[in-house]
Amino acid sequence: MKQQTVLTIAIGLTAFIMLAVAGVIITEQAAQAKSNVSAQVQTAQTAQNQDVQQAPQVSQDLLKQIADREAQYQALINQANAQLEQAQKDEKALQDQFTVLKTTNAQLAAQVAAQPAVLTPQQASQVAASYMHQKDLYAIESVNYYDSTAYRVTFSSGAIVFLSKYGQIMAAISAPSADASSGGGGGGKGGGSKPSGNGGGNDD
């Protein structure tokens, strides 16, 4: 009876000790697990904090790159606009020059059209013949008449007509009469002395 009591007590003590040991082991494992979880949580929080700190820096760099590109694009646009504006100014200047040249040419054309046409020797002889009412043309030549270029038209009768290259009658000398050939003086239509010719006579 006494031996059974001792055995029962020994079994109880052994079970208690085993339970105590098991409790300590479980407590240590729980503490280790908690420590591991805490470490993992701390690591995750640290990584998250690093990401949060790096994110603004990345955003600032990206924004700076975007701003630089926009500045480059704007500079190119400004340069293109300046070139376009200069081209428009050059075009306007050319148009103004063309307008001035066109106006000048029109004025010169009007001045040329307003000037009388220069007569040919044949036309000058016809004008002189019509003025003197004579057809016996003898010679026509270009002369210097009082510092002006003129035609001198001579008729077979001896009559002489001086006319400008534009057809204005400058002087006319009638044919000498019979009295003039014997010593008397003869009169002319236009009067004036007879200048010398400077060559180039054309006979009709």
What's the average model confidence in pLDDT over 180-194?
A: 46
Q: Which pLDDT belongs to residue 56?
A: 60
Q: Cα–Cα distance between 25 and 106 in angstroms, integer?
A: 120
pLDDT, one tens digit per residue, over 122-169 is 999 999 999 999 889 999 999 999 888 999 999 999 999 999 988 899
Q: Is 115 exposed, middle or buried (0-12, 13-18, 19+ CB in 10 A)?
A: exposed
Q: Cα–Cα distance between 146 and 165 in angstroms, integer?
A: 14
* More confidently predicted of 8 and 123: 123
Q: 124, 116, 131: which is closest to 200 by C-alpha? A: 124
Q: Which pLDDT belongs to residue 177?
A: 75
Q: Cα–Cα distance between 160 and 150 in angstroms, integer?
A: 12
- Helix (H) and strand (E) counts in the chain: 3, 5
Q: Give the model's confidence band at 115: pLDDT under 50 very low, under 70 low, under 90 confident, else very high.
A: low
What's the average model confidence in pLDDT over 86-91?
A: 90
Q: 126, 148, 139: which is closest to 200 by C-alpha? A: 139
Q: Which pLDDT belongs to residue 100?
A: 84
Q: Cα–Cα distance between 96 and 99 in angstroms, integer?
A: 5
What's the average model confidence in pLDDT over 168-195?
A: 62
Q: DSSP letters along 123-184, please?
A: HHHHHHHHHHT---EEEEEEEEETTEEEEEEEETTS-EEEEETTS-EEEEEPPP-HHHHTT-
Inter-residue contact 119 to 127 (CB < 8 Å):
yes
